[in-house]
Amino acid sequence: MSQKCAIYPGSFDPITNGHLSIVDRALTIFDKLTIAILTNPQKEPLFSVKERIDMIKESLKGSPNVEVDTFGGLLVDYAIEKKANVILRGLRALSDFEYEFQMALMNRKLNREVQSLFLMTDYKWFYISSTIIKEAAGLGGDISGLVPKIVEKRLKEKFRDAKNT
């Protein structure tokens, strides 16, 4: 029997508890999940790709059926390369849906073999995003309980170092 594999793409700059909630739920559906960090030269992330990979791996210790990888180019091509026919996306609000729906339709046009699956985030993570987390942390806000401990630590270090330069 073949494994059911999915790709969970994103910038994960940084990974949040909302992302981890989607991962946990996806693992009840799929045998293997690849968290795929998009390398986009037009975006300037706070964390390097290596830092993001390290934080994701630390956050998901004990999840052997999760792989962390990077990709550039078309997501549907990457999915086929990884032998996955599902792209997993998390949704928070209606505004997420509009963008994700457009992307899903474009991916479907590019390759009809790859399906998009949307999972709603748990209600307690509905209001958080990586962007909001970075803004709050940058202003000295308490982000404990919203991100994994390693992410909280790295954000504090990153913003402390920025203040000292």
CB 15 within 8 A of CB 95: no
Widest Cα–Cα separation across the chain:
55
Question: Could you give the C-alpha distances from 77 to 23, 74, 86, in angstroms and in order?
Answer: 22, 5, 12
92 labelled catalytic: yes
Catalytic residue among 92, 108, 129, 158: 92
Catalytic residue among 43, 50, 61, 163: 43
Catalytic residue among 19, 32, 52, 89: 19
Catalytic residue among 52, 116, 130, 134: 130
As a whole number of angstroms, the distance between CA 86 and CA 72 comes to 17
CA trace torsion 112, 121, 14, 165 (10° rounding):
140
130 labelled catalytic: yes
Q: How many CB atoms lie within 10 A of CB 93?
A: 12
CB 49 within 8 A of CB 5: no
Positions marked catalytic: 19, 43, 92, 130
